[in-house]
Chains A and B, each alone.
Chain A
Amino acid sequence: MAFKKSRPSDQFNPRAWLNPRRLRNWREYLTGYLMIAPSVILIFIFGIFPVGFALYVSLHKWRLKRDVIIGLDNYVNAIGGLAYLMFFALGIGLLVLAFIQFRKAFRKRPGNPWQSYLLNIPGIILAGATLSFVRWTVALLPHILDIANKITGVEKTRLLFIQLLNESFNAPDVLQARSLMLWMIGAGVLTLILGAYLIRVKDNLQIQGPLFISWFCAGTGGIILYYVYSEMMSDYHTAVLTGNDPGFFSQLIGILSGLVLLFIGYKIWQSAKDQRNTWLFIIRLLGAMVFVVGGWIMLGELPVIVAAGDPDLWVGLRATLFYALGTVPFQLGISLFLAILLFQNLAGSSFFRILFFLPYVTPTVASAAVFRQIFSNRLQAPVNSGLRLLGIEPLQWLWEPKGVFQLLATSLGIESWPAWANGPSLALVVIMIYSIWTFVGYDTVIYLAGLGNISKETAEAAEVDGANRWQVFRHITFPLLSPSTYFLTIISVIGTFKAFNHIWVMRLEAALQTTDTFSVVIFSEFYEKLRYGYASAMAFVLFAIILILTFLNTKIQGSKVFYG
């Protein structure tokens, strides 16, 4: 995302602030803003506002209609004490982000330290202005939502709507929030311009930008931390009053220290890899193990907390994990294989490519409906007739809630199969097959492009050196394909967490919710049980999981990606 090549920037002339060059810069900025405006406005209205709205909903008891504010209770109901941890981590994360931005800004700081301190002022005020804008919308929102109540029972006209909207904008608390916001914005813009005028350093705005972000993150992080703290305290006090210690303080400390220990262990492990002295290597390895084991023990609290959450959610999460593990590796493996075959450019390979790609462009409603019939439990359905033709017992497929490993064990005559090793249900496996069927074509195309980018010479040189095909693949082709693999893994993992449509179509009651992934659980809370507040909280938990996974993936896999 970083700007690759800036055009040679002009010599800075402190004398003429409004020289033509500067004007041209400002015009350039303005052009940029105008060009992104339509998209950004639309995405703000239909992409970002709904998220803020959902966050607002998630802090309420909200069954069909807005009820009282209940703070983090929805989150606590969903994931137990982890809810506090989630928001705590969010607050800390924002503070860290603030620190990083701050450091970034100060690398570019001008020579005079006073000037760099002064440049913080517009940043602070503008961050405050942004927060006061948020405060204003939060004040305004209930008034606007209330209009739906006000217009039931009366004749609706456009005039009435505009009048009611006016009233909401002019409610006392909204007005108060608005005037604060306007003052802050005015002061912010004023100081921004003053700062730009008085402190004549090159890239003035490029320093002010990160400073603003930094202060905004710091402010938001601080507010969130304070909010989580007060929520915990009030929950704690009510719990003490009723006479049972919720114990989430000890849980929180336990898990946090567990994570820290794991991190330290990981760091020592990494340093051990580079250690050449065998003894020091072993000592470090042992040290790392101690920390990791300690971390795991501290994380031992986790199951207790998990048990306090919503079982549906954990079952959904488990189904999602099965789904991810059962689809992503197979999808990538099959498509890599096909890509290598197609890459030989035999006659007709583009025809095969088209065929493999067709499932990806087929409308979901149609293809999932077809799969439902193919993997029906009817004896006459295609797959079951195939099995019967081969003399194998027909299966229940989409109707089967039992785990595949359990089924396998039963058919092999193993009586006592442990419940934890049941694996995904057969119904979920059918949905995995559908998913693989759909996405192999897409992945193959990406891999084909990746293969096209690898220079033939490298592989040929290696073959000349006596490497066999497998060695060439293992040591040259596969590492060089890592950007494609990385991209596909991220896309697929996020995709599995968001997967919904085809699961919804193929889901049967007889499968006893074993096919309900996280998204399906959220959907059914929202649309079937009408628990809008709770479902929104769950959606944010899902969002957090996706973010963590993306982050981990970038950290772990990203470091191994070979950008040739």
Chain B
Amino acid sequence: MAEESARSQHGKRHSDFTLRNISTYLILVIGALIAMFPFFWMISVSLMTIGEAQGIRLLPSEVHFENYINAWKEAKFSLYMWNSVRITLLTLVGELAFSTLAAYAFARIKFPGRDIIFGILLSTMMIPAMVTIIPNFLTVTWLGRIGPLKWINNWPALTIPFMGSVFSIFMLKQFFAQIPDELYDAAQIDGAGHLRFLWSVALPLTKAPVMVILILSFIGTWNALAWPMLVTNTPEWRPIAVGLYSFIDEAGQMLNLMMAGAFIAVLPVLVLYFFTQKQFTESIARSGLKG
């Protein structure tokens, strides 16, 4: 693909720039149309009647917003969304706090066994998740039985296991490692310890990776299905994916309602992404390269 592109540009090296720009735009627009078609179709069908949804139609003959109202009422989306938001925030706070500390130590403090511990942590990223669900469920049950916290059906089971995140540590470590030693030496002369340095110098420099962790863990929580299903059995703490999943199951026959529900569930992520996309693309790119 890439080679073709370069080849197609080859002959026109000295040709008119506008012509090349036009062809570039043409390709970009076609690509964007393909990338956007599923979204367009989802929204379009969500505004149709069921009969139209099943026929050959790209646009509804008249807009049926009541599909959204029906879907919203049917699936308790407001409760599920609020749950997802608070689960995400709780996870995020713990994840950021713990990962920042660990990443800083891995990047800037020299202690025996550091590289080995980090290597072991990294290798856990390759384990297929399906085998770890049952043992983790047992752990969570036992923690609830013997400790003072209620775990099942409550926030600890949904958030605490995700607070130790290898990915976040890895990502933040890359950024901390880039901070020049001179900065630290200067801070040390001023009498600042590790924590001070971390808080006042290092952390403010890592806004971008924090954004990445924020949105990725937001997506993660928004997508989480199997685990929340297992550790909750009341709607009180169930997140949006569980709601959407059972809604799709229930409304499966009503394509238009299903698409309305899907769009309701997708929207918050899209909105969040639009607001953070600059930092997000910036730092996802940087993290990728230094891996």
Contact = CB atoms under 8 A, between A and B. Distances in A.
A and B touching (C-beta < 8 Å)? yes
Interface of A: 1-7, 28-29, 31-33, 35-36, 38-43, 45-51, 53-54, 57, 144, 158, 161-162, 165, 205-206, 208-209, 213, 330, 333-334, 336-338, 340-342, 344, 346, 349, 352-359, 361-367, 369-371, 373-374, 378, 380, 382, 385, 437, 440-442, 445-446, 448-450, 452-453, 468-470, 473-474, 478, 483-484, 487-488, 491, 494, 498, 500-501, 519, 522-523, 526-527, 532, 535-536, 539, 542-543, 546-547, 550
Interface string B62-75: 00000000000000
A333 B101 contact: no
Contacts of B19: none
B126 A546 contact: yes
17 contacts: A28-B110, A28-B111, A38-B97, A38-B163, A39-B121, A39-B164, A42-B161, A45-B161, A47-B164, A161-B146, A208-B112, A341-B24, A352-B32, A358-B270, A365-B244, A374-B38, A473-B6
A361 B161 contact: no
A498 B127 CA distance: 9
Residue among B2, B36, B263, B269 with most chain A CB within 10 A: B2
Contacts of A357: 273, 277, 281
B231 interface: no
Given A32-B105, A370-B259, A370-B262, 6 more contacts: A31-B105, A51-B127, A358-B36, A361-B270, A370-B41, A453-B289
Contacts of A4: 177
Contacts of A28: 109-111
Interface residues of B, number: 105
Contacts, number: 299
Nearest to A442: B284
A525 to B, nearest CB: 10
B206 to A, nearest CB: 15
A433 to B, nearest CB: 10
A363 B110 contact: no
A213 to B, nearest CB: 6
Interface of B: 1-2, 4-7, 9-10, 13, 21, 24-25, 27-28, 31-32, 34-39, 41-42, 45, 54-56, 58, 97-99, 101-102, 104-106, 109-121, 124, 126-132, 134-136, 138-139, 142, 145-146, 160-161, 163-166, 169, 177, 181, 185, 194, 215, 219, 222-223, 225, 241, 244-245, 248, 255, 258-259, 262-263, 265-266, 269-270, 273-274, 277, 281, 284-286, 288-289, 291
Contacts of A165: 142, 146
A362 B285 contact: no
A165 to B, nearest CB: 7
Given A39-B98, A361-B270, A366-B262, A523 B126 contact: no
Nearest to B273: A361
A137 B135 CA distance: 14
B110 A3 contact: yes
Nearest to B225: A365
A519 B130 CA distance: 8
Shortest 9 CB-CB contacts between residues of A and residues of B: A42-B164, A449-B285, A333-B1, A50-B132, A32-B111, A35-B105, A39-B102, A32-B109, A53-B135
Contact of A352 (B28, B38, B139, B219): B28
B24 to A, nearest CB: 5
A469 B270 CA distance: 37
A542 B129 CA distance: 12
